[in-house]
Structure 1
Amino acid sequence: MITAYRANGESVVISAEKPPASMPSDVVWVDLLRPDKAEDVLVESFLGIEVPTREDMKDIEPSSRLYTAKDAVFMTASLVCKAESGHPELTDVAFVLTKGLLITVRYDEPKAFDLFTAAMHRIPGGCATGTVLVTRLFETIIDRTAEILEIAVAKIDTLSLQVFGDRSGKRRPPHYLEAKLLDVASHHRLVAKTRDSLASLSRVMTFLYTVPTIQENRDARELCRTISRDIQSLSEHAAFISGNITFLLDASLGLIGVEQSAIIKIFSIASVVFLPPTLVASLYGMNFVHMPELQWTLGYPLALLAMVVSAIIPFYFFRWKGWL
């Protein structure tokens, strides 16, 4: 889908099946969401540039993700998407700055884009050119990244209280801490994806700052500096959160080890308690003349039943206690 945006935030959907004669002159941003070949060709015919494909954006070499060609600046950044779904992912987004126009190519829907399009009309001074628009868009992306880290911090604080528990002495469900390890892994994945995204954005902003059109625009240049400082601060904050997650993981494993040691201690005590009766039975066994049970008609089946019951009762008791 091709969506063209004017400086005031108004959008126009351009169809490859019924294409216009030319790109509207007041358009400052062309957003391609999951474009097909026909839409790529249409935009290329309008702007005279080569639109990056999904394969182009997957290249990890900086020289292939950040470059200039035919007076157009090509940048590819990895952004976090589906942050609140429990399965966060990184999606590559291409930013092309040419002739005062911004073109973005994406195959997923990071929330930052929706936030930016909803607030375009409220940007002070508007977005008269793609140069201003791209810096404002990156500012929104960084704000969204900061929000993702705040969400992660809140979830980790809640998880920490759940892991260490309260002082009421209430018994936890069986395998409670083992289940929390999955939550720790989920939070670690989110923070790791966010750190990868910040590293990518840092390289993009360093490259964007050197672009002549950015250097010529004082506001855009200062905003680039501010964004770079924010990225550095967020990277340090993400590293701190990652350290907290590591501590939480170690603490969870330690508590699991303590619980398992307590269970083994109970088993050891039970073994010691039953050892003397077992010793007596081993020594004397059935070596008595007067044993009333020898005359019982149902003695043998009752003995078998007692064996089964003596095995089942401890099994369900241990399960009820959460030891199995």
Structure 2
Amino acid sequence: MITVYDARGEAMVIDAAAPAAAMPEDIVWIDMLRPDRAEDHLIERFLQIEIPTRDDLKDIEPSSRMYTTPDAVFMTASLVCRADSGHPDITDVAFVLARGKLITVRYDEPKAFDLFRAGLPRIVGGCSNGAMMLARLFETISDRTAEILEHAVASLDNLSQQVFGDRTQNKRRPPHYLEARLLDVASHHRLVAKTRDSLASLSRVLTFLYTVPALQETREAKELCRTVSRDVQSLTEHASFIFGNITFLLDASLGLISVEQNAIIKIFSIASVVFLPPTLVASLYGMNFEIMPELHWTYGYPMALIAMVVSAIVPFYIFRWKGWL
């Protein structure tokens, strides 16, 4: 699908069967969402450039992700998508500056694009050219990334309270409670890891974009690009801090699981020690020797039972006095 926008944010959906001459001349942004070959050919005829394909976007070589030609500037950045779901991912998006216009080619729907489209008509003065449109779009992407990290921090704070619990309340946790929290930690780890990858990609693209002549010619776009670059750098540092908190939470969860397992093992160990003396008494009087002092004793059986009970109770209270129970 091809959607075009003018400087004021007015949108129009273009039919791939339309001739290239029918494209409006006042458009500033051409957004291509999951384009087919017919739509690629339409834009290629209109701008006289080659549109990156899905395979081109997957290329990880820096020389293939950012380059210039006599007619256009090509950049590919990785953006976070589906961050609000349980399965966040990153998608590669191509940004092309050609003939004063911005062309974006994407095969997924990062939320930053929806936010940018919604706020585009509210930009004072609009976006007069593609470079300004791109700088504003990167600003929205940076704001969306900051929002993702803010939500991650809030979720991690709530998860930390679930792991460590409230010290004023002594509630017994259900079985496998901490194991379930480990899955939550892994989900946050994936989200922040994807966000860090996206920020690294944005940082490289912004550094490259700052050297593009089309951006240097527009002072407002140049200053905005510099501001967004600083924001991306600070967000990268913040993401690293959050990553450290996730690592701490993971280690703490594993430590608490070990503590609970050790407590269970300690109970079994103490129980075996408590019942060891009664077992010894029972074994002693279970011998079948012909000559035993208490063999014909009238009170031998009850005394043996009393000896077994006392030998079990005494270690139990010793363990309680030592604080081992």
After TM superposition, the structure 1 = structure 2 runs for residues 1-324 of structure 1, keeping only pairs within 5 Å, are 1-19=1-19, 21-167=21-167, 168-285=169-286, 287=288
Where does residue 299 of structure 2 map in the other structure? none
The amino acid that maps onto 1:125 is: G
Partner-residue secondary structure (3-state), 1:9:
coil
Q: 1:281 deviation in Å? A: 3.4
1: CA distance between counterparts of 2:285 and 2:16? 95
User: 1:212-241 CA distances to partner (integer Å, 9 max, x unpaired)?
Assistant: 111111111111110110011000100100
The amino acid that maps onto 1:133 is: M
Q: 1:276 deviation in Å? A: 2.3
Q: Which TM-score applies when normalising by structure 2?
A: 0.86
2: CA distance between counterparts of 1:222 and 1:272? 75
2: CA distance between counterparts of 1:195 and 1:11? 32
2: CA distance between counterparts of 1:197 and 1:262? 43
1: CA distance between counterparts of 2:71 and 2:284? 97
The answer on whether the counterparts of 2:20 and 2:45 sit within 8 Å (CA) in structure 1 is no
Q: 1:274 deviation in Å? A: 1.9
1: CA distance between counterparts of 2:77 and 2:51? 15
The answer on whether the counterparts of 2:91 and 2:107 sit within 8 Å (CA) in structure 1 is yes
Q: 1:22 deviation in Å? A: 2.9
The answer on whether the counterparts of 2:20 and 2:42 sit within 8 Å (CA) in structure 1 is no
The answer on whether the counterparts of 1:22 and 1:46 sit within 8 Å (CA) in structure 2 is no
2: CA distance between counterparts of 1:192 and 1:117? 27
Q: Which moves more between the two structures, 10-19 or 173-182?
A: 10-19
The amino acid that maps onto 2:24 is: P
The amino acid that maps onto 1:113 is: F
1: CA distance between counterparts of 2:126 and 2:49? 26
Partner-residue secondary structure (3-state), 1:31:
strand
Q: 1:151 deviation in Å? A: 0.5
Partner-residue secondary structure (3-state), 1:76:
strand
The answer on whether the counterparts of 1:28 and 1:130 sit within 8 Å (CA) in structure 2 is yes
The answer on whether the counterparts of 1:188 and 1:242 sit within 8 Å (CA) in structure 2 is yes
For structure 2, the residue ranges without an aligned partner over 5 or more in a row are: 290-294, 297-325
Q: 1:261 deviation in Å? A: 0.8
Q: 1:70 deviation in Å? A: 2.8
Q: Which TM-score applies when normalising by structure 1?
A: 0.86
Q: CA RMSD in A?
A: 1.6
Q: Which moves more between the two structures, 224-233 or 17-26?
A: 17-26
Partner-residue secondary structure (3-state), 1:248:
helix
1: CA distance between counterparts of 2:128 and 2:118? 17
The answer on whether the counterparts of 2:20 and 2:46 sit within 8 Å (CA) in structure 1 is no
Query: CA 1:277 to 1:19, structure 2 compared with 1: closer, same or farther past 3 Å?
Result: farther
The answer on whether the counterparts of 1:66 and 1:207 sit within 8 Å (CA) in structure 2 is yes
Q: 1:286 deviation in Å? A: 8.1
The amino acid that maps onto 2:74 is: F
The answer on whether the counterparts of 1:14 and 1:20 sit within 8 Å (CA) in structure 2 is no
2: CA distance between counterparts of 1:228 and 1:249? 31
Number of positions where the alignment pairs a residue of Structure 1 with one of Structure 2: 290
1: CA distance between counterparts of 2:5 and 2:284? 93
The answer on whether the counterparts of 2:40 and 2:51 sit within 8 Å (CA) in structure 1 is yes
Q: 1:279 deviation in Å? A: 2.6
Query: CA 1:28 to 1:242, structure 2 compared with 1: closer, same or farther past 3 Å?
Result: same
Partner-residue secondary structure (3-state), 1:16:
coil
The answer on whether the counterparts of 2:71 and 2:98 sit within 8 Å (CA) in structure 1 is yes
> Radius of gyration: which is bigger?
2
